[in-house]
């Protein structure tokens, strides 16, 4: 019973610590697509306001059966955590959004670690290309943020 009472506050605090400790994670990584057996966005009652994690960096990768199994397990465990956050009535909408985004980032990082070094290289290249395209499309905004 003590474990259940402490689980939610610990999850909330760890989520906020994660978000504060890793502020550049959204710029360094992006979300995978649902078509390539990579982590998927969990549908929930509370949605993240803006998903800064594009969904195409994992597209087209050829996964081994072990990778598929491990990524599926990562997705299921993350979905369970996210569902618990959505159902938690003690959290505000902003807190829920922050927790959901934090769990998506964790899911992405865990799935990225499952990839081979060649697959990781491909994902990093896609991120660099996407960033270059975004910067070329919005040169005024990128100059203002510096």
pLDDT value, residue 137 = 85
In a domain, 78, yes or no: yes
Give yes or no: residues 108 and 70 share one domain.
yes
Give yes or no: residues 74 and 129 share one domain.
no
Closest CA to 112 of 64, 71, 84: 71
Give yes or no: residues 121 and 132 share one domain.
yes
Rounded to the nearest integer, the mean pLDDT of the chain is 75
Give yes or no: residues 137 and 104 share one domain.
no
Contact 108, 30 (CB under 8 A): yes
Give yes or no: residues 109 and 84 share one domain.
yes
In a domain, 66, yes or no: yes
Give yes or no: residues 108 and 125 share one domain.
no
Give yes or no: residues 71 and 130 share one domain.
no
pLDDT value, residue 14 = 61
Give yes or no: residues 124 and 66 share one domain.
no
In a domain, 44, yes or no: no
Give yes or no: residues 80 and 8 share one domain.
yes
The boundaries of the domain holding residue 123 are: 116-146
In a domain, 45, yes or no: no
Q: Is the pLDDT of residue 142 over 90?
A: no
Contact 136, 66 (CB under 8 A): no
Give yes or no: residues 67 and 137 share one domain.
no
Closest CA to 39 of 115, 133, 132: 115
Q: Is the pLDDT of residue 46 over 90?
A: no
Which tens digit of pLDDT belongs to each residue from 58-95? Answer: 788 899 999 999 999 999 999 999 999 999 999 999 99
Domains identified in the chain, total number: 2
Which tens digit of pLDDT belongs to each residue from 1-10? Answer: 555 665 666 6
Contact 9, 15 (CB under 8 A): no
CB count in 10 Å sphere of residue 62: 8
**What would the mean pLDDT of 107-120 be, rounded to a whole number?**
93
Give yes or no: residues 105 and 69 share one domain.
yes
In a domain, 101, yes or no: yes
Q: Is the pLDDT of residue 32 over 60?
A: no
Give yes or no: residues 104 and 127 share one domain.
no
With a threshold of 0.75, does the pTM exceed it? no
In a domain, 54, yes or no: no
**What would the mean pLDDT of 41-48 be, rounded to a whole number?**
45
């Amino acid at each position: 019973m003590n474990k259940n009472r402490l689980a939610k506050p610990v999850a909330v605090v760890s989520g906020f610590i994660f978000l504060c400790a890793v502020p550049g994670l959204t710029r360094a990584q992006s979300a995978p697509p649902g078509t390539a057996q990579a982590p998927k966005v969990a549908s929930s009652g509370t949605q993240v306001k803006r998903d800064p994690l594009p969904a195409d960096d994992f597209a087209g990768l050829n996964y081994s059966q072990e990778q598929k199994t491990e990524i599926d397990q990562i997705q299921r465990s993350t979905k369970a955590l996210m569902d618990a956050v959505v159902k938690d009535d003690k959290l505000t909408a902003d807190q829920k959004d922050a927790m959901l985004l934090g769990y998506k980032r964790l899911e992405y990082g865990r799935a990225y670690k499952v990839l081979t070094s060649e697959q990781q290289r491909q994902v990093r290249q896609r991120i660099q290309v996407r960033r270059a395209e975004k910067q070329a499309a919005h040169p005024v905004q990128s100059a203002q943020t510096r």
